[in-house]
Structure 1
Amino acid sequence: MRYLPHSAADRADMLAAIGAGGIDDLFAAVPKSVLGTFAPDLPDHQPEFAVEAHMRALAKKNHAGADGPFFVGAGAYRHHVPATVDHLIQRSEWLTAYTPYQPEISQGTLQMLFEFQTQVAHLMGMDIANASMYDGSTATAEAVLMARRVTKKNKVVLSGGLHPQYRDTVVTYLSGEEGLECLPASPEGQGDIVDHIDDDTAAIVIQTPDFYGHLRNVSALADAAHEKGALLIVVVTEIVSLGLLEAPGALGADIVVAEGQSIGNPLTFGGPYVGLMACREKFVRQMPGRLCGETVDADGKRGFVLTLSTREQHIRREKATSNICTNSGLCALAFSIHLSLLGEVGLSRLARLNHARAIALADALAAVPGVEVLNKTFFNEMTIRLPKPAAPLVEALAAKGILCGVPVSRLEPGRPEVEGLVVLAATELTTDEDIAALAAALKGELA
């Protein structure tokens, strides 16, 4: 929509037409405690060519790491995306209206979403999935709110292995509310979330593989949660792992959320990505976001519609189950196309290849003097401990063209116990030469 400036008289006429006394009346539902608490530190306006030049200068600072050893993961992973995916998502059949409320003109988009939901539900071992969320972190926060609605309890326990940014997103969503318990970081897989479950617990949130790469015993945690009437929310940041690991739903999870970026979507410097959410059918009325259903038209032909979505999702926001009433349609389409190309056998092979590359990486790192691999279990990601602060070392290797991984101190600042930790990931794109280069560089920096 174009920006159309209005004069003071224009604004006065519009306010009078809706019966508002002033601009402030339009924000009556927003608590006064959060209004006017900050002033954006933005520069003065600039001509278009100056803004473009500034953005180009910023873009030149980016380093994709595509031409050198790349071990960055921590929730966003570099995988091969077939050229077929990019070709198909640009076909004109998908260039329909943004919001498919009118099913008679949006059957292609709606069928794609229905197939996407089917794929996600099967992948996660759950009864039903929605048409995607914004990303994995907001899907996690929405799952927490959903669990509180389902159980009518407030206490939620977040595992120490949950991605720090996912944890922070949940904290932001529940800002000012009681009942959220965030357990300390568990880089060595330590800590027992079971001890924190009681009769007032709505849900526990675990990640597997967790932020530090450890695999979690989902079945045991599901039993412990259900014994107290709590739900188990399982988070997956590396969705490719489900090509090798048992589906969380088959192990007792009640709600499963994930980041789907690894399938069909490149890194693109952090987004846009696609959040996945699936749950038990009995909870579907509390599931946020869009849900596409299959039906028949007046002639008995197969058709698709958005279903089980209340009007509150779109116009009475204060009564809505969620403030997310859209979906990451293009990213979901890319996910669905790539997964269709892989098939079940292809996804399993891809997952095994990722794990094999990670084993080779772990063996090479363990052989470097001064490097300790903390993981006894992992899929394609692991944590190492260095005898010196990790962040400067990671920067030094980046200057040499080797993206070593993510120093934990970057996501957990001010915590001395994580200063020497680095989270690294290997994928099917990781070569033996990449691993050898990293091991040699680490050996040189630690000598």
Structure 2
Amino acid sequence: MRYLPLTDTDRSAMLNVIGVQSIDDLFMDVPVEAQLATKIDGLPDHASELAVERHMGKLARKNMVAGDVPFFLGAGAYRHHVPASVDHLIQRGEFLTAYTPYQPEIAQGTLQVLFEFQTQVARLFGCDVANASMYDGSTACWEAIGMARRITRRGKALLSSGLHPHYVSVARTMARFTGDQLVYTTPRVDAEPDIQTLIDAIDGDTSCVVVQYPDILGRIGDLSALAAKAHAAGALLIAVVTEPVALGAITPPGDMGADIVVGEGQSIGVGLQFGGPYLGLFACKQKYVRQMPGRLCGETVDAEGKRGFVLTLSTREQHIRREKATSNICTNSGLCALAFSIHMTLLGERGLTDLAALNHARAVQAAEALEAVPGVRLLNSSFFNEFTILLDQDAREVARALADRDILGGVSLGRLFPDAAELSGGLVVAVTETTTEDDIAALCGGLKEVLA
């Protein structure tokens, strides 16, 4: 039984106070086509708890579990092996129940974990300083664009065609409320990323250039020239990393001149989890630290000279005057940040390098095997653990046919870019240390059947 204490009179009084006629007015920003006008067919108005559990269990059994089949999905969310010790440690009571340190100096353990996490992210990205995490990669990307606007006092952001379309979508949603101009086109079927195109597009109105590294097609470019051109024009370079394991093998964006580096931390310590919760990573150069959103933990000593930790910066609207806040993001993804930090600590620098090398080697093995399949062409001239293959058929249909054979063969570009017909034959294939030779053989065999 639901408990609904409000009467119609109560609701009317609240609506009057906030100045709207009906509850529907609160959802006016939701497009009409996305609104549900009628009840869902076949869904009962009510059911017992036991009946709901049985029904949901039946639906769950229809899912294809990532670990049970050959799995090549990526495009921003990756299946890596997470040691059992990570899950064990994050479930300790002092970690699992802690929310956020409103009286920060009391929560020394939480602050120390976040301090270590910041250090790991800063070193991984090649930056001076990192914050105590954000919600996910896409919102971190938008926050970086907003940060660039505050620093440069300009409102035009150039988005690489290789930036994940979901990140682009989030940025467009937020730009509706800030007035930022976002310049973006869908990617072309090229072996190399659009670095030169971005360089040529930079002008005196540009606040920042946003480039994904490796990009949505798995391509890897040298960002040094792009950073130099952006800086010469008074703009910032923002690098987006959706697969942080790659930085165990390739040059960190900060070392190539990126001013702000953001990313998705899910790959390290955090499972796929049907799309969340995930972990936003955010780092920048020291001189921009006071414009960085979120929270920053620092190290100090107490009155007795003992090592301690403090909340050094908190530029969010809960802690300071709203008009001075850099962001309305009001917490960090604390438990996911802890999982990231534990996994990274278990790996160590050598372990991360070895893991990256294993990922790349498996990806090369898979790419070579797939190139031998009739009707398959490899797009990339460079890649880490993810690459794009071009098929003679619509990749969406091919992906569905592979799924019918219990093979999750990749993410079709037609799904990511439904309005770009020229990309319909592209399939983004991700390979990690969890991929076996049998998995690769199954994918190749399935493609031979489907493309025949």
TM-score by length of 1: 0.91
Provide Cα deviations, 1:221-244, integer angstroms capped at 9, x if missing partner.
111111111100000111000001
Separation in 1 of the partners of 2:48 and 2:101? 34
- 1:383 match: 388
- 1:23 match: 17
- Distance verdict in 2 for CA 1:187–1:103, change over 3 Å: same
- Long gaps (5+) in structure 1: none
Provide Cα deviations, 1:164-216, integer angstroms capped at 9, x if missing partner.
11111111111262421013313423541111100110000001110000001
- SS for the counterpart of 1:276 is strand
- 2:187 match: 185
- SS for the counterpart of 2:102 is coil
- 1:46 match: 46
User: Which of 170, 193, 202 is 1:197 aligned to?
Assistant: 202
Q: Is contact 1:313–1:322 with CA below 8 Å preserved after alignment?
A: no
Separation in 2 of the partners of 1:181 and 1:216? 20
Q: CA deviation at 1:56?
A: 2.8
- Residue 363 in structure 1 maps to residue 368 in structure 2: yes
- Distance verdict in 2 for CA 1:164–1:36, change over 3 Å: closer
One-letter amino acid of the counterpart of residue 264, structure 1:
G
Separation in 1 of the partners of 2:318 and 2:384? 38
Q: Is contact 2:315–2:326 with CA below 8 Å preserved after alignment?
A: no
Q: CA deviation at 1:320?
A: 2.4
Provide Cα deviations, 1:376-419, integer angstroms capped at 9, x if missing partner.
00000000110011111111111111110001111111221111
1:240-259 → structure 2 map (5 Å cutoff): 240-259=245-264
Separation in 2 of the partners of 1:65 and 1:144? 34
- SS for the counterpart of 1:330 is helix
Separation in 2 of the partners of 1:32 and 1:90? 38
Provide Cα deviations, 1:124-172, integer angstroms capped at 9, x if missing partner.
1101001111111111111111111111000100001111111111111
User: Which of 272, 277, 280 is 1:272 aligned to?
Assistant: 277
Moved more, 234-243 or 168-177: 168-177
Q: Is contact 1:161–1:210 with CA below 8 Å preserved after alignment?
A: yes
1:91-106 → structure 2 map (5 Å cutoff): 91-106=92-107
1:430-441 → structure 2 map (5 Å cutoff): 430-441=435-446
Separation in 1 of the partners of 2:398 and 2:30? 41
Separation in 2 of the partners of 1:36 and 1:248? 37
1:31-430 → structure 2 map (5 Å cutoff): 34=28, 46-47=46-47, 49=49, 50-175=51-176, 177-188=179-190, 189=192, 191=194, 192-310=197-315, 312-314=317-319, 317=322, 319-430=324-435
Q: CA deviation at 1:305?
A: 2.1
Identity %: 59
| RMSD over aligned Cα atoms | 2.5
- Distance verdict in 2 for CA 1:155–1:33, change over 3 Å: farther
- SS for the counterpart of 1:66 is helix
- SS for the counterpart of 2:210 is strand
Separation in 1 of the partners of 2:129 and 2:89? 26
Q: Is contact 2:100–2:334 with CA below 8 Å preserved after alignment?
A: no
TM-score by length of 2: 0.90
Q: Is contact 2:316–2:330 with CA below 8 Å preserved after alignment?
A: no
- 1:5 match: 5
Provide Cα deviations, 1:248-297, integer angstroms capped at 9, x if missing partner.
11110000001111110111111111010000111111111121122223
Q: CA deviation at 1:64?
A: 1.7
One-letter amino acid of the counterpart of residue 355, structure 1:
H
Q: Is contact 1:358–1:425 with CA below 8 Å preserved after alignment?
A: yes
Separation in 2 of the partners of 1:354 and 1:236? 16
Q: Is contact 1:290–1:325 with CA below 8 Å preserved after alignment?
A: no
Q: CA deviation at 1:60?
A: 2.4
Q: CA deviation at 1:94?
A: 1.4
Separation in 1 of the partners of 2:302 and 2:45? 53
